């Protein structure tokens, strides 16, 4: 419903509200039809509407909102455009996905437009691979993940895939993984297929943060077999007493990630926990954000632990 003061003499700048639009993004021509040329000009001159392009306007108060910038990008590129890659993952609810730049897929025949905060990919997507979320045309989750696993930085891609898997009901995760594998195989661009499959093999949905996914990748890229995420340590009665971030249970080696918020003020508790695990035969190695930036210390500690178990690292 249009809630606007009808344009009249001396009142063309009194538009109280704009039409609903698409998350605060509007086609300029549609607004002109709804508001009239004078009222539209007044809204632009008054700064309530800002130009995204010659054809698209956005409401200033929402101009930095993620959904608004995504909507503007779609309107800018026409009805065949679709959100893809990191942007699609974010729209699907993957919190680890980067929200800028907005990534849009357009047909090969259409030239992508360059502007700050926008990345345009040319390609073809079938109608059955497009879903509408909050009014935004978006590629399917498995479609977006295949591209991200193949082309985006490994840590970011794995974190996104782990979160997407965690969002999937457990009984459906096997089928979801199979669909991602099919998407990887069917990608028209063969670049990154091998890397995508390697990353997909690590996806469990169990790491509890992007940092834990990054830690898993750090360990496997160093040549270690993938440890089990969220490993349950149980007592003789079968009751869980500890849950370890990562464990090579065969050798009773564990790696715990100390995120700042989760472990702030818990140093004494963590030390007591590690001591109890040591009495139970475990070697516990603690990792921090600093180890993700430079894993030299962490990998030396892991190598030492394997050596103590008599396993060549």
Question: Could you tell me the end-to-end alpha-carbon distance of the chain, in angstroms, rounded to an integer?
Answer: 67
* Same domain? 74 vs 180: yes
Indicate if the pLDDT at residue 204 is higher than 80. Answer: yes
Give 119-158 as a DSSP string.
EEEE----GGGEEEETTEEEE-HHHHHHHHHHHS-HHHHH
* Same domain? 267 vs 239: yes
Closest by alpha carbon to 61, among 43, 35, 39? 43
Query: Would residue 194 count as lying in a domain?
Result: yes
| More confident of the two residues 40 and 115 | 40
What is the spatial distance between Cα 157 and Cα 145, in angstroms, rounded to a whole number? 8
- Over residues 106-131, the pLDDT tens digits come to 998 767 677 889 999 999 899 999 99
- Which residue range(s) make up the domain with 269? 210-308
What total number of domains does the chain contain?
A: 3
Average pLDDT, stretch 215-219? Answer: 98
- The lowest-confidence range among 27-41, 99-113, 169-183, 257-271 is 257-271
* Same domain? 280 vs 260: yes
Residue finishing a domain among 181, 202, 223:
202
Mean pLDDT, the chain, whole residue set: 91
* Same domain? 278 vs 156: no
Which residue has 């101009």 as its token pair?
Answer: 63
* Same domain? 112 vs 198: yes
- Over residues 46-102, the pLDDT tens digits come to 999 999 999 999 999 999 999 999 999 999 999 999 999 999 999 999 999 999 999
The pLDDT value recorded for residue 114 is 77
């Amino acid at each position: 419903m249009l809630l606007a003061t009808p344009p009249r003499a001396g009142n063309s700048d009194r538009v109280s509200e704009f039409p609903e639009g698409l998350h605060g993004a509007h086609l300029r021509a549609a607004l002109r039809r709804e508001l009239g040329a004078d009222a539209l000009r007044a809204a632009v001159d008054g700064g309530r509407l800002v130009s995204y392009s010659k054809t698209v306007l956005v409401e200033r108060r929402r101009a930095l909102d993620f959904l608004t910038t995504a909507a503007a990008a779609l309107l800018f590129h026409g009805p065949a455009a679709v959100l893809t890659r990191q942007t699609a993952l974010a729209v699907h609810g993957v919190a680890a996905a980067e929200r800028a730049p907005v990534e849009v897929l357009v047909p090969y025949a259409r030239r992508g437009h360059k502007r700050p905060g926008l990345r345009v990919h040319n390609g073809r997507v079938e109608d059955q691979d497009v879903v509408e979320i909050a009014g935004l045309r978006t590629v399917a989750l498995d479609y977006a993940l295949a591209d991200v696993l193949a082309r985006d930085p490994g840590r970011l891609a794995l974190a996104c895939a782990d979160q997407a898997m965690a969002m999937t009901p457990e009984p459906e995760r096997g089928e979801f993984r199979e669909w991602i594998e099919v998407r990887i195989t069917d990608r028209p661009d063969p670049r990154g297929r091998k890397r995508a499959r390697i990353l997909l093999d690590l996806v469990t949905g169990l790491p509890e943060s992007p940092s834990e996914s990054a830690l898993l990748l750090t360990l496997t890229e160093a040549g270690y077999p993938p440890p089990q995420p969220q490993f349950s340590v149980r007592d003789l009665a079968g009751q869980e007493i500890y849950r370890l971030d990562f464990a090579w249970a065969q050798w009773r080696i564990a790696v715990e990630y100390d995120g700042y918020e989760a472990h702030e003020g818990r140093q004494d508790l963590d030390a007591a926990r590690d001591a109890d695990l040591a009495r139970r035969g475990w070697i516990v190695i603690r990792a921090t954000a600093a180890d993700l930036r430079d894993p030299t210390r962490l990998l030396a500690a892991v190598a030492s632990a394997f050596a103590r178990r008599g396993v060549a690292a």
